[in-house]
């Protein structure tokens, strides 16, 4: 602690007493006999506080004024020669830091000496309860801030850490409204639309259109694919075999089936056609003529669309609002059925199905718009 | 937010008894209900004081207060927590403080 103090005292006797006291207090005391002497050494001494004896010439008030003029912020402590509270308060109002009362001893001067080396101002409040309330409010606001920050940080961390990864969309809106057939390939999906008489090739990632092939001579109502060809069923009941080249070149046609099928699929061994109006499912020989082998009555509610893979027949049932799985050997027996959430939309009409790699793809109309969506194959 | 402050600690004279000389110190905090009084004179908690001081040019004489707590700081000064006991004096204080605070 900076402990140089200046002591102004004319009396040699008092200086002797004070020298001993300040020495015992550990202060580095610089003594001056009068004000002029004090001001002369003031700049050099740079004291932390000034103590001066009261009751000498010049009066303490003048000493205070001159000291404050030179160093306004320095603590000035009059040493009263008798205990006079009113004079002490008067000197304090004049700028004294405090007043030490007589008799001057180490005990009486220690607090004043030590306190003089520190300093500020009176805090005043209209109502202390308001101060406490403000402090409490500030503390609560601070706590709330940290709590919110912690909560938000934790929530963000937890959200990032534990929330499931975003599910890729599995419903796609089509830019045409009347899809009738769907074939899923490795990276693309082929969809036919009867109204625009087109065959659309979509990117499987986002269902953006890659290619459009116009089918001016046919109104496609169903479609399926084999390893080396594409089969399109027309509204007239004729199935066309086409090459999977860039123009889908026609190769052959069947005779017109009656009733005209609106679903067609190939299970790797046989062809299957279905008529949703009558609910008739027909197994056919593979070949250009697709000769009928046997017909079955659909066992579910209302057949909307049919597809197959090498294991099962799959049907979208608008009556049961479900995906129905049937045996290839006995299509008149339902193996399982799974309710389709998509049927929550009252306007959904499924018109085509496709099975690929454990997913069942649906194409249809919903509220005047074409849609494609898929469901994972039920166990 | 900084609390409202006077430009210096308010000097105050304190009377403890008629037969004892008054003592002095400074008010380090002041409200209409309570105050903090800093003095190098020692007084016991529970004692009643009569404080005289000036606030904003208004002189308050013999404002009665009871020492709630007395704590000695490391410098040897005593910090007294005072509670003003006279309702009429509290009202005067409230009024004086109200004129001192910024609006």
Instruction: Give the residue on B whose Cα is nearest the Cα of A108.
Output: B40
> Stretch A305-309: mean pLDDT, rounded?
93
Strands B10-15 and B48-55: antiparallel
> What's residue A121's pLDDT?
47
In a domain, A134, yes or no: no
**What is the reported pTM?**
0.47
Give strand pairing partners of A22. none
**pLDDT at B22 exceeding the cut of 90:** yes
**pLDDT at A212 exceeding the cut of 90:** no
Rounded CA gap, A202 and A212, in Å?
9
Spatial neighbors of A79 by CB under 8 A, at least 6 apart, are A9, A18, A51, A52, A53, A54, A99, A100, A102, A104, A109
Chain A with chain B: Cβ pairs closer than 8 A: 102
Q: Do A86 and B55 touch (CB under 8 A)?
A: no
> Stretch A111-120: mean pLDDT, rounded?
78
Shortest CB distance from B7 goes to which of A89, A112, A121? A121
CATH number at residue A371: 2.120.10.30
In a domain, A150, yes or no: no
In a domain, A122, yes or no: no
**pLDDT at A66 exceeding the cut of 90:** no
> What's residue A159's pLDDT?
81
> Stretch B47-64: mean pLDDT, rounded?
90
> Stretch A49-78: mean pLDDT, rounded?
87
Give the domain-ending residue among A116, A134, A151: A116
As given in the structure block, the two tokens for residue A256 are 């017109």
Residues of B in contact with A111 (CB under 8 A): 40, 75-77
> What's residue A120's pLDDT?
45
> Stretch A358-377: mean pLDDT, rounded?
91
User: ipTM of this predicted complex?
Assistant: 0.85
Question: Is there a single domain that holds both residue A269 and residue A339?
Answer: yes
> Stretch A67-77: mean pLDDT, rounded?
84
Residues of A in contact with B97 (CB under 8 A): 124-126
As given in the structure block, the two tokens for residue B93 are 């204080």
As given in the structure block, the two tokens for residue A278 are 């009558």
Question: Is there a single domain that holds both residue A15 and residue A88?
Answer: yes
Question: Is there a single domain that holds both residue A268 and residue A357?
Answer: yes
Residues of B in contact with A85 (CB under 8 A): 13-14, 21-24
In a domain, A83, yes or no: yes
Q: Which of A125-139, A214-228, A246-260, B21-35 has the lowest mean pLDDT?
A: A125-139
> What's residue A86's pLDDT?
92
Instruction: Give the CA-trace dihedral at A281, A286, A288, A289, to 10 degrees.
Output: -40
* Winning range, highest mean pLDDT, from A207-221, B3-17, B22-36: B22-36
In a domain, A179, yes or no: yes
CATH number at residue A14: 3.40.50.2300
Angle (deg, nearest 10), helices A60-70 and A35-45 = 30
Question: Is there a single domain that holds both residue A102 and residue A14?
Answer: yes
Shortest CB distance from B3 goes to which of A85, A86, A125? A125
pLDDT for A318-348, tens place per residue?
999 999 999 998 899 898 988 888 888 888 8
Question: Is there a single domain that holds both residue A301 and residue A177?
Answer: yes
**pLDDT at A294 exceeding the cut of 70:** yes
What SS3 class is residue A184? strand
Rounded CA gap, A255 and A258, in Å?
9
In a domain, A210, yes or no: yes
> Stretch A82-101: mean pLDDT, rounded?
90
In a domain, A130, yes or no: no
Question: Is there a single domain that holds both residue A111 and residue A175?
Answer: no
In a domain, A152, yes or no: no
Shortest CB distance from A131 goes to which of B3, B75, B77? B3
Q: How many domains does chain A have?
A: 2
Domain residue limits at A295: 171-376
Q: Is A123 on the interface with B (CB under 8 A)?
A: yes
pLDDT for A261-276, tens place per residue?
999 999 988 999 999 9
> What's residue A313's pLDDT?
92
Test the B interface: residue of A88, A104, A124 with most B CBs within 10 Å? A124
Residues of A in contact with B34 (CB under 8 A): 128
> What's residue B5's pLDDT?
58
Give the domain-ending residue among A70, A99, A116: A116
From the options 3.30.300.30, 3.30.70.20, 2.40.10.220, 1.10.3720.10, give the CATH code of B10-97. Answer: 2.40.10.220
**pLDDT at A364 exceeding the cut of 90:** yes
């Amino acid at each position: 602690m900076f402990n140089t103090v200046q002591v102004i005292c004319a009396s040699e006797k008092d200086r002797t007493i004070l020298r001993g006291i300040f020495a015992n207090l550990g202060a580095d005391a610089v003594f001056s006999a009068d004000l002029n002497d004090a001001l002369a050494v003031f700049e050099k001494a740079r004291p932390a506080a000034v103590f001066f004896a009261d009751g000498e010439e010049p009066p303490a008030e003048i000493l205070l004024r001159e000291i404050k003029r030179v160093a306004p912020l320095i603590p000035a402590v009059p040493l009263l020669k008798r205990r006079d509270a009113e004079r002490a308060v008067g000197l304090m109002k004049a700028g004294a830091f405090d007043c030490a009362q007589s008799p001057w001893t180490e005990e009486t001067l220690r607090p004043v000496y030590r306190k003089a080396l520190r300093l500020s101002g009176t805090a005043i409040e209209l109502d202390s309860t308001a101060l406490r309330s403000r402090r409490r409010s500030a503390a609560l606001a601070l706590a709330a801030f940290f709590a919110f920050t912690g909560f938000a940080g934790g929530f963000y961390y937890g959200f990032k850490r534990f929330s499931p990864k975003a599910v890729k969309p599995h419903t796609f809106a089509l830019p045409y409204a009347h899809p009738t057939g769907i074939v899923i390939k490795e990276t693309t999906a082929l969809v036919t639309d009867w109204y625009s008489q087109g065959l659309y090739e979509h990117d499987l990632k986002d269902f953006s259109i890659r290619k459009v092939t116009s089918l001016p001579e046919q109104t496609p109502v169903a479609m399926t694919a084999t390893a080396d060809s594409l089969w399109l069923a027309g509204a007239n009941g004729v199935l066309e075999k086409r090459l999977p080249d860039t123009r889908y070149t026609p190769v052959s046609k069947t005779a017109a089936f009656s009733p005209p099928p609106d679903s067609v699929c190939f299970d790797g061994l046989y062809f299957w056609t279905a008529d949703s109006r009558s609910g008739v499912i027909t197994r056919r020989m593979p070949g250009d003529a697709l000769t009928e082998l046997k017909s079955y009555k659909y066992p579910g509610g209302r057949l909307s669309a049919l597809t197959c893979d090498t294991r099962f027949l799959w049907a979208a049932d608008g009556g049961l609002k479900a995906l129905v799985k049937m045996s290839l050997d006995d299509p008149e027996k339902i193996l399982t059925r799974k309710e389709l959430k998509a049927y929550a939309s009252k306007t959904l009409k499924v018109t085509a199905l496709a099975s690929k790699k454990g997913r069942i793809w649906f194409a249809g109309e919903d509220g005047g718009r074409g849609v494609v969506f898929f469901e994972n194959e039920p166990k | 937010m900084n609390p409202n402050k006077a430009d210096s600690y308010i000097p105050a004279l304190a009377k403890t008894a008629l037969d004892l000389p008054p003592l002095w110190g400074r008010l380090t905090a002041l409200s209409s209900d309570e105050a903090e009084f800093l003095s190098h004179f020692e007084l016991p908690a529970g004692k009643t004081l009569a404080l005289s001081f000036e606030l904003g040019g208004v002189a308050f004489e013999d404002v009665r207060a009871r020492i709630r707590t007395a704590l000695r700081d490391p410098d040897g000064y005593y910090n007294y927590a005072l509670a003003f006991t006279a309702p009429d004096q509290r009202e005067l204080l409230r009024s004086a403080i109200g004129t001192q605070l910024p609006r």
